[in-house]
Amino acid sequence: MGIFIPHSNNVVSKVDANLIKDLTEISSWNSFASSLVEQYSKRGSLSDKQTGAAIAMLMKVKANKAQKADAPSIDLGNVVAMFSKAHEAIKTPRFRFEDLVISRAPDHGVNAGALYVKVNGDYAGKVKEGKWFGSQDILPKLQQISKDPLSSAVAYGRRTGTCACCGKELTVHESIERGIGPICAEKWGLL
């Protein structure tokens, strides 16, 4: 995708053609691009504001693609399996570890299949299609969870006195010692 910015009136028609080509490439999933392509087809041009907005959007799309290409790969197979198991019994499963809370993206959203990560309640990134989009500082914690999800849950439960899976206080003596409740351990496949 090439982005050309007009510098004079005699360059505008070439720019419009290239701009429309770039917008057409993303119009199947971007409604704004689709509407601009449709308007260009009807009128033969875009306003200066529309051209500026289209160029800004295309630059953002290009930056996002570059970010995706540079995103580090991460194997979270165990975490994905744990969330798949939990989702059979829990509508919105969340897993806690140290200062992280990992949650599952909705099945119907743009990020279906992704896992969202929050640190101290603030969005920190996501894992999608085996790639991490967020701070590199969080990767070691995610890898530690994936290496041994049960140990991670137990460590959290013992440190905080709450279950890593449901967030409730552990009150039964066996659960306190195990660091996780038996119901959550079963629902999450952590037996």
Question: pLDDT tens digits for 30-74?
Answer: 899 899 999 888 988 888 899 889 998 888 888 777 666 666 788
Q: How large is the average pLDDT for residues 128-147?
A: 89
Q: In the chain, which ranges are continuous DSSP H helix?
A: 9-26, 31-43, 48-70, 77-87, 139-147, 149-160, 173-178, 182-187
Share of the chain above pLDDT 70, in %: 89
Where residue 151 falls among pLDDT bands split at 50, 70, 90?
A: very high
Query: Residue range 153-159: average pLDDT?
Result: 93
Tokens 């809370």 appear where?
Answer: 101
Residue corresponding to tokens 């570059």:
66
pLDDT score of 116 more than 80: yes
**C-alpha dist (Å) from residue 13 to 17, 141, 176:** 6, 52, 71
Distance between CA atoms of 61 and 176, rounded to whole angstroms? 48
Where residue 103 falls among pLDDT bands split at 50, 70, 90? very high
**What does the alpha-carbon distance between residue 133 and residue 117 come to, in Å, rounded to a whole number?**
10
pLDDT of the residue at 17: 77
Residues 6+ apart with CB under 8 A from 117: 100, 101, 102, 123, 124, 125, 126, 127, 134, 138, 142
Structure-token pair, residue 23: 């917008």
User: So what's the pLDDT on residue 129?
Assistant: 86
Q: Is 104 helix (H, G, I), strand (E, B) or coil?
A: strand
Confirm if 115 and 130 have CB atoms less than 8 A apart: no
